[in-house]
Amino acid sequence: MKLVTFALLLSLSCFAFAATETATAPSEIPTNEKDFVALINGFEKAKIIAQLGEPSKIEDVQSSSGKAFASIWQYHYLNTDEKGEYYQTTELDFIDDKVVMVVFMNNDGSEMPNDAVKAPPNKK
């Protein structure tokens, strides 16, 4: 009788464990730009890393005290436009630990555009 009870409890615990894993597994993040933006806003960094892996580039923005309060993460060939063509770079901007902006670029994110301001304006 003990063996039957043990087998029954063991089989039920497997179902409970499987249900727990399914309930906590993160949902897949879509690659289409509109669906991606609708889903990703507000995600925390840990959840993004769990879904997408480590970004190819991270740039932290620090306060005067040296504490990072914002981050810019870049991924390559992650998202598609309406035609199904991949953007070369997807940039995720964070404030504290949450995504606040998504930028899609057709460059690798390392070059400066020709019309960019290359020096701070003179203060009067």
113 domain-assigned: no
**pLDDT at position 19:** 40
24 domain-assigned: no
**pLDDT at position 28:** 78
Q: State if pTM tops 0.75.
A: no
Strand partners, 62: 68
Q: Where are the alpha helices (DSSP H) in the chain?
A: 2-24, 33-40, 45-52
**Spatial distance between the Cα atoms of 101 and 40, rounded to a whole number of angstroms:** 9
10 domain-assigned: no
User: Which CATH number characterizes residue 60's domain?
Assistant: 3.30.1450.10
Question: How do residues 51-109 score in pLDDT, each as one tens digit?
Answer: 999 999 999 988 888 887 899 999 999 999 999 999 999 999 999 899 999 999 998 77
Number of folded domains in the chain?
1
2 domain-assigned: no
Question: How do residues 2-56 score in pLDDT, each as one tens digit?
Answer: 444 444 444 544 444 444 333 333 467 888 999 999 999 889 999 999 999 999 9
Residue numbers of the domain that contains 45: 29-105
3-state secondary structure 58-92: EEEEECCCCCEEEEEEEEECCCECCCCCECCEEEE
**pLDDT at position 40:** 92
